[in-house]
């Protein structure tokens, strides 16, 4: 078989593989990007892109296309039968660059990413129709057996990014398995085109709606007057039967009728979906690094699938570029696995709580979910249980690649957090000031040392700092932030005339912040001494991994359950073995025990009245 070589091969030109290829190409590598399909997938999958993902898309040069096409949103409404029971309102200030989410079809996402890749490196265009059929590796590289349109060949790569999706052929080639939970409940995913009708862009959920009794229905508006309507199937429903066009159309017609939509519409997509919370034990397998759905699957509730894949590729891109170039040890890739596995654990914990409501995993959970829905609206704690816990930026606070504060402090932008993309004024070479956002002031590649000049004692500290960090061995730019533009000295500095940035970064305490190339804080410092800066840089490039890096289901999730969530889960689980027959008795005993614990007759009577009233 003919043989080709590559520094890095990326298998899979879905969104995650495309971003990995863009990141590598931006860093000067020439990745070979292979995909079994003939071109962009015109299927309908991810639609909600988070604010953090939008920031990453900006960084890789794709943001403008998404901003032009996507529909921004920050709100949602949930209904139980015919009653509104929860309002979602995610923070969205007029000064924010991005809405908490934009909705956009995944085929646009892939198209815009392909365009961004071609703009950076036309030579790295995806090789469509090139399927990886087998793989093996040794100490020096990976040999991929590729079947292309003109026959088979071997691609010998130093490193491989496995972004080949949920059914990853590379996972199979290396005998690796995903582990976790597969939920039984199924959803039918439908897209309809409703020309000429403008709906508010928000997340709508109906539990047990009159149009579809016993089911849960989710609606999101997408560009081009396309609405995504997902509805839950009954457990006894036959999937093939449910997918038949006439059956889908009848269910959707009932839903649209209930919503008062009288305009003509047309079904443009339908498929079945089952929630999975699965992960590899380790995202690095020698010279093969797994990302996106190939590494982990996350239930769609809370929209963490694609968003976490985007984050994977952004975390991996700079690390793999440095390792492939010999500028960092291969252990840096273990920090990728470690950081992202912890995020998967967090995502699974959050998505599991959303799944209790969207797709209850058993009779006990269903009983409790319905009880919470009965109480929601009138009782804030019950409404809060309906919060979809949408995907949010992660903090790599437990990462060995991140240097913790010498004295832990919650003020400012903590180690491991991503850069808050606040409005910023940037000083041009001609002395002119341009309004933009902090992210715009970062160098396109490499580390950034954000220096709050006044808090450091004045501009005289900058030159020695720059000199000391110049020989760091990796690109590192010193970025001054000044209150007084006259003190900036250099083009590209950030002017913080009203001190907003200094306050947000707690600059009085931490005048220096080291940012990684993926905009996460590697460390922050209390003074201008370059020695700890260089030590933190070393740690970011060659992290002391320790036992935490060992393969295995990841470290505990960083988002602890709230007390109502813990109570909800505990009672639901207790009800599972009790079954429908024993549930009433168990709940009666539980009510008596809780009343005894509460010890206040008036409060108990008020609870009894509220429980009666909610029915």
Ligand X SMILES: Cc1cc2nc3c(=O)[nH]c(=O)nc-3n(C[C@H](O)[C@H](O)[C@H](O)COP(=O)(O)OP(=O)(O)OC[C@H]3O[C@@H](n4cnc5c(N)ncnc54)[C@H](O)[C@@H]3O)c2cc1C
Site residues for ligand X per CB under 6 A: 11-17, 34-37, 41, 45-48, 106, 131-132, 163-166, 169, 189, 273, 292-294, 300, 303-307, 309
Question: By C-beta, is 18 or 515 nearer to ligand X?
Answer: 18
Residue 215 to residue 238: CA distance in whole angstroms? 15
Q: In the numeric block, which tokens belong to residue 421?
A: 């993309």
Question: By C-beta, is 454 or 518 nearer to ligand X?
Answer: 518
Q: In the numeric block, which tokens belong to residue 19?
A: 């971003």
Question: By C-beta, is 203 or 539 nearer to ligand X?
Answer: 203
Minimum Å distance from CB 356 to ligand X? 19
Count of beta carbons in the 10 Å neighbourhood of residue 352: 23
Question: By C-beta, is 306 or 533 nearer to ligand X?
Answer: 306
Could you give the dihedral angle defined by the CA atoms of residues 504, 58, 103 and 22, in that order, rounded to the nearest 10 degrees? -130
Question: By C-beta, is 77 or 131 nearer to ligand X?
Answer: 131
Q: CB of 46 within 8 A of CB of 103?
A: no
Of 200, 260, 193, the C-alpha closest to 229 is 193
Minimum Å distance from CB 226 to ligand X? 14
Minimum Å distance from CB 428 to ligand X? 37
For tokens 């900058």, the residue is: 462
Per DSSP, the three-state class of 74 is coil
| H helices present in 183-244, as ranges | 239-243
DSSP letter for 397, please: T
User: Under 8 Å CB-to-CB from 404, ≥6 apart: which residues?
Assistant: 397, 415
Question: By C-beta, is 35 or 518 nearer to ligand X?
Answer: 35
Q: How many helices (H) and strands (E) does the chain have?
A: 17, 26
Question: By C-beta, is 305 or 317 nearer to ligand X?
Answer: 305
User: Under 8 Å CB-to-CB from 82, ≥6 apart: which residues?
Assistant: 209, 210
Edge-to-edge strands of the sheet including 512-515?
433-437, 423-427, 494-495, 476-482, 447-452, 512-515, 521-525
Minimum Å distance from CB 199 to ligand X? 17
Closest residue to ligand X in the complex (CB): 14
CA distances to 201, 308, 372, 424, 614 from 96, in Å: 18, 21, 34, 11, 39
Question: By C-beta, is 230 or 374 nearer to ligand X?
Answer: 230
Count of beta carbons in the 10 Å neighbourhood of residue 481: 25
User: Under 8 Å CB-to-CB from 485, ≥6 apart: which residues?
Assistant: 427, 433, 495, 497
Question: By C-beta, is 62 or 438 nearer to ligand X?
Answer: 62
Per DSSP, the three-state class of 155 is strand
Minimum Å distance from CB 374 to ligand X? 29
Indicate the length of the chain as a whole number: 615
Residue 475 to residue 28: CA distance in whole angstroms? 13
Q: CB of 183 within 8 A of CB of 276?
A: yes
Q: Is 599 left (phi over 0), alpha (psi -120 to 50) or beta?
A: left
Question: By C-beta, is 101 or 568 nearer to ligand X?
Answer: 101
| H helices present in 202-278, as ranges | 239-243, 245-259
Question: By C-beta, is 169 or 368 nearer to ligand X?
Answer: 169
Q: CB of 135 within 8 A of CB of 80?
A: no
Question: By C-beta, is 39 or 585 nearer to ligand X?
Answer: 39
Minimum Å distance from CB 576 to ligand X? 28
Question: By C-beta, is 13 or 493 nearer to ligand X?
Answer: 13
Element (H, E) at 463: helix 462-470
Minimum Å distance from CB 114 to ligand X? 11
Residue 439 to residue 432: CA distance in whole angstroms? 18
Question: By C-beta, is 56 or 169 nearer to ligand X?
Answer: 169
Minimum Å distance from CB 189 to ligand X? 4
Per DSSP, the three-state class of 314 is helix
Minimum Å distance from CB 247 to ligand X? 18
CA distances to 92, 209, 227, 344, 518 from 311, in Å: 21, 36, 26, 11, 9
Q: Are strands 203-207 and 216-222 parallel, antiparallel or unpaired?
A: antiparallel
């Amino acid at each position: 078989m003919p043989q080709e070589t590559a520094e890095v091969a990326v298998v899979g030109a879905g969104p995650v593989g495309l971003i990995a290829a863009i990141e590598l190409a931006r860093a000067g590598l020439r990745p070979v990007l292979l995909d079994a399909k003939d071109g962009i997938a015109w299927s309908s999958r991810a639609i909600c892109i988070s604010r953090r993902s939008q920031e990453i898309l900006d960084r890789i040069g794709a943001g403008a296309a998404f901003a032009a096409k996507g529909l921004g949103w920050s709100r949602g409404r949930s209904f139980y039968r015919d009653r509104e029971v929860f309002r979602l309102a995610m923070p969205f200030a007029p000064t924010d660059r991005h809405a908490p989410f934009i909705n956009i079809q995944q085929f646009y996402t892939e198209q815009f990413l392909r365009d961004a890749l071609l703009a950076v490196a036309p030579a790295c265009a995806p090789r469509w129709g090139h399927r990886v059929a087998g793989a093996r590796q040794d100490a020096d590289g990976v040999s991929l057996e590729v079947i292309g349109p003109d026959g088979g060949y071997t691609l010998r790569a130093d490193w491989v990014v496995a972004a080949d999706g949920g059914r990853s052929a590379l996972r199979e080639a290396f005998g690796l398995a995903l582990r976790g939970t597969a939920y039984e409940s199924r959803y039918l995913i439908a897209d309809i085109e409703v020309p000429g009708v403008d709906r508010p862009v928000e997340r709508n959920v109906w539990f047990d709606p009159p149009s579809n009794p016993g089911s849960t229905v989710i609606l999101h508006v997408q560009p081009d007057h396309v609405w995504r309507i997902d509805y839950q199937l009954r457990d006894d429903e036959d999937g093939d039967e449910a997918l038949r066009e006439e059956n889908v159309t009848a269910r959707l017609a009932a839903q649209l009728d209930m919503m008062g939509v009288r305009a003509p519409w047309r079904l443009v997509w339908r498929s079945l979906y089952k929630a999975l919370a699965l992960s590899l034990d380790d995202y690095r397998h020698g010279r093969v690094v797994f990302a996106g759905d190939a590494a982990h699957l996350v239930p769609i509730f809370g929209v963490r699938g694609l968003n976490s894949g985007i984050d994977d590729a952004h975390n991996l891109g700079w690390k793999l570029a440095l390792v492939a170039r010999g500028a960092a040890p291969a252990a840096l890739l273990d920090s990728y696995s470690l950081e992202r596995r912890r995020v998967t654990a967090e995502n699974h914990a959050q998505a599991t709580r959303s799944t209790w409501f969207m797709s209850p995993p058993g009779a006990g959970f269903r009983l409790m979910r319905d009880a919470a829905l009965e109480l929601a609206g009138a009782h804030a704690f019950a409404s809060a249980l309906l919060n979809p816990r949408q995907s949010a930026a992660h903090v790599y606070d437990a990462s060995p690649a991140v240097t913790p504060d010498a004295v832990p402090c919650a003020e400012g932008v903590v180690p491991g957090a991503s850069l808050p993309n606040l409005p910023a004024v940037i000083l041009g070479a001609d002395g002119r000031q341009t309004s933009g956002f902090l992210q715009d002031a970062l160098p396109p590649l490499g580390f950034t040392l954000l220096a709050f000049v006044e808090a450091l004692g004045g501009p005289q500290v900058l030159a020695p700092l720059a000199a000391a960090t110049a020989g760091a061995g990796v690109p590192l730019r010193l970025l001054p932030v000044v209150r007084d533009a006259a003190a900036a000295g250099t083009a590209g500095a950030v002017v913080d005339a009203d001190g907003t940035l200094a306050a947000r970064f707690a600059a009085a305490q931490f005048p220096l912040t080291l940012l990684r190339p993926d905009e996460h804080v590697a460390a922050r410092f209390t003074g201008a001494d370059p020695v700890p800066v260089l030590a933190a840089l070393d740690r970011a490039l060659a992290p002391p991994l320790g036992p935490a890096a060992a393969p295995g289901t990841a470290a505990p999730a960083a988002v602890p359950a709230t007390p109502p969530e813990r109570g909800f889960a505990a009672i639901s689980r207790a009800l599972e073995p009790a079954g429908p027959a024993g549930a009433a008795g168990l709940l009666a005993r539980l009510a008596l025990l809780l009343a005894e614990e509460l010890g206040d007759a008036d409060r108990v009577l008020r609870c009894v009245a509220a429980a009666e009233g909610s029915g």
